[in-house]
C-alpha cells in the first residue's frame, strides 16, 4: 500500500478526492481480502446497475455526444460490459486460489512454496469519453474480481453520464467500495497525483505520458491503455469486397472514435480502386441519411475542427480525398462529419502522423508483404494490427514480424469484446492488461509465500564458522545447479 499523502499533495487535491481515498483505504485495511462470495456479488451488482438503468444510460450518453447511435451504445457498452462481468464471475473463485510452485533444493520435505493473489487496495480509474461505460465498468470487473476498491474519474465530455453514475451507484455499492467523480476539465492532474495502489488510464498517448509522470511521484504503478495508428493489412489473396465490408463497418462505428480502430489501410496496389468503389457503394447502402440516428456525431467542436483540419492538410499536401457521403449534406451544427478516404497519403501529412479518432481512412498501397511490414515497423508500435488474409503463411508472417498490443484477423476491434482475452497495448500504445485472468493479476499482488518445514537445512549445514564440510556441500550444490 502506498504511503500516506504529504501535506503538500493534499493541498493540491480536491477535498472530495482525498476524503474518498481516506475512506476507501480505511475500509480496505479493515477488511483487506474479501472472499469469493463478496467479489461475485460485486460483479453481479455491476450487471444490475447496467440492466436496471439501461434507458437512462442510453439517454445520458446520447446527450453527451449530441447524437450517438443507440445500437452502437448497446452493443459496445452494455453488451460488452455485461459479458465481461458474467464471464469473470464464473472464474474468479479459481483465480483466487494460491498457485503452487516448485520447492528448491535448499529445503527439506515439508517446505511449501505458493504465489497467493491478494488485493492491492484502492485503484484509481481515469475514463475517456468515447466508450465511457465499457471503459469504466470493464476495468471495474477486473478490479472487483481482485478484491479492490475503486475511485473512477469520468471525462469532461461525459458530464450527463457522470451525473447519472454519481446518482445511481450508491444504490449498488457503498462509497467506500466504489465512487464516481465528475470532471469539468480541470481535475485530471489532481486525480492522477493521488497515491493510489494502482492507477488505470485510458486515453491518448500524450495525456498518458502526463498521467504516468504524475503517478511516478508516488511510485504508483500504472496500466496505460493508449491509442496509436493501428493498420489493416489486406493480403493479396483476400477478397477485396469482403475486406471493404468489414473495414468500413469498423471505421464508421462510433464515427471512428475508437482507440483500437483501423487508422489506415495497406492494400495491394492492384486492389485500391476496387476497394474505393466498394466503400462508396457500402456507405450509400448503410447510411442513406448521414444526419440520421445511426451515424454518430463527433464528440465536440474542438475534435470536429481537428478532423476537418486533417482533411485540409492532406488536400493541401497532394492527397486525393474521396467523400463517401457525396450528395449528402452533413449537419455541421450537430457535428456530423462526412467520412473520407485519403488516397496516397504521405508521412508529412498530419493524418499519417497522429491518431485520427474519426471517420477518416487513409489508404496506402504496397507491392509485397515485406514492404507493408517495413512501413508499419518504421512507426510506433500500434494498439492492434488487422491482417486480412486466408493464407496461413501470410497471417503468421504478419503476426510474427509486426509487434502490437493485440491482433484481429479478418475483422477489426472485436478482439476487445472477447471476455476471456486480455486487452492492452505495448510501448506508445500502452502498458499492462486488464480483462480476464490477466486483468485479475494486474490488480492483485501476486505474493510469493515460502513456508519452511519442520527442519531447516540452513541451521544444519550452513552455520558459521564455515569449515571444509560446508565448502564441499556448497560446491556440490553449485554443480547440481550447473
The DSSP code sequence of 83-115 is HHHHHHHHHHHHHTS-EEEPPPTTS-BTBEEEE
Q: Could you list the active site residues?
A: 225, 259
| Domains assigned to the chain | 7-226+433-445 (3.40.605.10), 230-420 (3.40.309.10), 452-481 (no CATH)
Instruction: Show the CA angle centred on residue 262, arms to residues 231 and 404, nearest 5°.
Output: 50
**Residue 23: all three cell numbers together:** 475512506
Terminal C-alpha separation, the chain: 39
* CB contact set of 395 (below 8 Å; sequence gap of 6+): 235, 387, 389, 409
**In the beta sheet, which residues pair with residue 366?**
268
Q: Output 392 or 9, whichever has higher pLDDT.
A: 392
Residue tagged 464464473 (cell numbers): 90
Provide Rg for the chain, Cα atoms: 26
Whether residue 417 is predicted with pLDDT greater than 60 in this model: the reply is yes
Give the range among 165-169, 248-252, 326-330, 391-395 with minimum mean pLDDT.
326-330
pLDDT digits (tens, 9 = 90+) for 278-295: 999 999 999 999 999 999
Pairing relation of β-strands 340-343 and 406-407? unpaired
Strand ranges (DSSP E) for 379-423? 384-388, 406-407
The DSSP code sequence of 249-278 is HHHHGGGG--TTSEEEEEEEGGGHHHHHHH
Whether residue 6 is predicted with pLDDT greater than 70 in this model: the reply is no
H/E run at residue 41? helix 36-52
Query: What is the rounded average pLDDT of the residues 440-450?
Result: 95
**Residue 150: all three cell numbers together:** 475503486
User: Is-contact 297 339, C-beta < 8 A?
Assistant: no
User: Is-contact 100 116, C-beta < 8 A?
Assistant: no
Q: d(Cα 369, Cα 246) in Å, to the nearest integer?
A: 21
Q: d(Cα 61, Cα 76) in Å, to the nearest integer?
A: 12
Whether residue 8 is predicted with pLDDT greater than 60 in this model: the reply is no
Amino acid at each position: 500500500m502506498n504511503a500516506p499523502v504529504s501535506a503538500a499533495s493534499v493541498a493540491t487535491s480536491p477535498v472530495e478526492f482525498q476524503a474518498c481515498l481516506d475512506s476507501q483505504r480505511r475500509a480496505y485495511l479493515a477488511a483487506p481480502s474479501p472472499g469469493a462470495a463478496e467479489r461475485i456479488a460485486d460483479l453481479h451488482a455491476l450487471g444490475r446497475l447496467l440492466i436496471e438503468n439501461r434507458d437512462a444510460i442510453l439517454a445520458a450518453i446520447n446527450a453527451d455526444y449530441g447524437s450517438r447511435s443507440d445500437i452502437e451504445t448497446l452493443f459496445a457498452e452494455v453488451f460488452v460490459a455485461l459479458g465481461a462481468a458474467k464471464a469473470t464471475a464464473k472464474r474468479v473463485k479459481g483465480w483466487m486460489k494460491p498457485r503452487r510452485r516448485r520447492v528448491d533444493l535448499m529445503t527439506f520435505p515439508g517446505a511449501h512454496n505458493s504465489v497467493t493473489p491478494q488485493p492491492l487496495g484502492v485503484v484509481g480509474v481515469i475514463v475517456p469519453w468515447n466508450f465511457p461505460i465499457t471503459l469504466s465498468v470493464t476495468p471495474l470487473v477486473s478490479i472487483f474480481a481482485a478484491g479492490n476498491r475503486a475511485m473512477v474519474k469520468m471525462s469532461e465530455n461525459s458530464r450527463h453520464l457522470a451525473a447519472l453514475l454519481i446518482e445511481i451507484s450508491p444504490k449498488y455499492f457503498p462509497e467506500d467500495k466504489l465512487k464516481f467523480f465528475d470532471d469539468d476539465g480541470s481535475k485530471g492532474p489532481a486525480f492522477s497525483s493521488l497515491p493510489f495502489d494502482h492507477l488505470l488510464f485510458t486515453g491518448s498517448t500524450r495525456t498518458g505520458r502526463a498521467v504516468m509522470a504524475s503517478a511516478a511521484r508516488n511510485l504508483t504503478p500504472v496500466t496505460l491503455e493508449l491509442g496509436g495508428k493501428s493498420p489493416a493489412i489486406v493480403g493479396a489473396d483476400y477478397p477485396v469486397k469482403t475486406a471493404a465490408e468489414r473495414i468500413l463497418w469498423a471505421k464508421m462505428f462510433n464515427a471512428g472514435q475508437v482507440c483500437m480502430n483501423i487508422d489506415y489501410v495497406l492494400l495491394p496496389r492492384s486492389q485500391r480502386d476496387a476497394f474505393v468503389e466498394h466503400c462508396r457503394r457500402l456507405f450509400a447502402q448503410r447510411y442513406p441519411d448521414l444526419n440520421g440516428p445511426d451515424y454518430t456525431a463527433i464528440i465536440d467542436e474542438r475534435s470536429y475542427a481537428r478532423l476537418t483540419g486533417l482533411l485540409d492538410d492532406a488536400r493541401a499536401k497532394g492527397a486525393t480525398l474521396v467523400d463517401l457521403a457525396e450528395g449528402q449534406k452533413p449537419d455541421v451544427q450537430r457535428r456530423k462529419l462526412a467520412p473520407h478516404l485519403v488516397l496516397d497519403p504521405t508521412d508529412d501529412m498530419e493524418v499519417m502522423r497522429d491518431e485520427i479518432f474519426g471517420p477518416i481512412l487513409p489508404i496506402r498501397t504496397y507491392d509485397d508483404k515485406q514492404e507493408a511490414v517495413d512501413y508499419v515497423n518504421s512507426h510506433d508500435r500500434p494498439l492492434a494490427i488487422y491482417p486480412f488474409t486466408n493464407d496461413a503463411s501470410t497471417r503468421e508472417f504478419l503476426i510474427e514480424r509486426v509487434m502490437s498490443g493485440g491482433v484481429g484477423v479478418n475483422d477489426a476491434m472485436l478482439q476487445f469484446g472477447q471476455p476471456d482475452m486480455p486487452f492492452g497495448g505495448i510501448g506508445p500504445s500502452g502498458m499492462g492488461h486488464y480483462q480476464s485472468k490477466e486483468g485479475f493479476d494486474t490488480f492483485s499482488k501476486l505474493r510469493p509465500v515460502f513456508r519452511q518445514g519442520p527442519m531447516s537445512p540452513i541451521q544444519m549445514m550452513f552455520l558459521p564458522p564455515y569449515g571444509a564440510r560446508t565448502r564441499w556441500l556448497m560446491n556440490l550444490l553449485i554443480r547440481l545447479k550447473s
